[in-house]
Amino acid sequence: MEERGKPALRIDLSQFKLHIRLKPKTDLTLHFDSPSRRFYLSVIALVVNEMKRLGQVTSIPLESHADELALLNNTIGESAGSSQKESLIPRIYRKWKDVLPDL
């Protein structure tokens, strides 16, 4: 049973940490300690925020957030790769397809 007031998943963008409650007394904290990882945690936060805004778990097309993604890449990601929409969006999708299943 989930404890009230304590979410199962919390994204801390001030310290670039992902907190996951696995069981009532088991917490996992993942540290995103490189510019590239911080960028992808920010992308995850953007997607989660959009799903919360919509009130449902659904696919969030990143193309409509290209300006925000470019800004995140230039600041948090320290320009790790191109910020042009033509290459940034496909790079994100490719990374999610190739890397996330291995985590």
Q: What are the pLDDT digits (tens) for 49-103?
A: 999 999 999 999 999 999 999 999 999 988 777 777 778 999 899 888 887 665 5
Contact 39, 33 (CB under 8 A): no
Residue listed under structure tokens 């409509």: 64
- Joined tokens for residue 2: 């989930």
The model's pTM is 0.81
Nearest to 43 by CA among 88, 101, 102: 88
Q: What are the pLDDT digits (tens) for 37-52?
A: 999 999 999 999 999 9
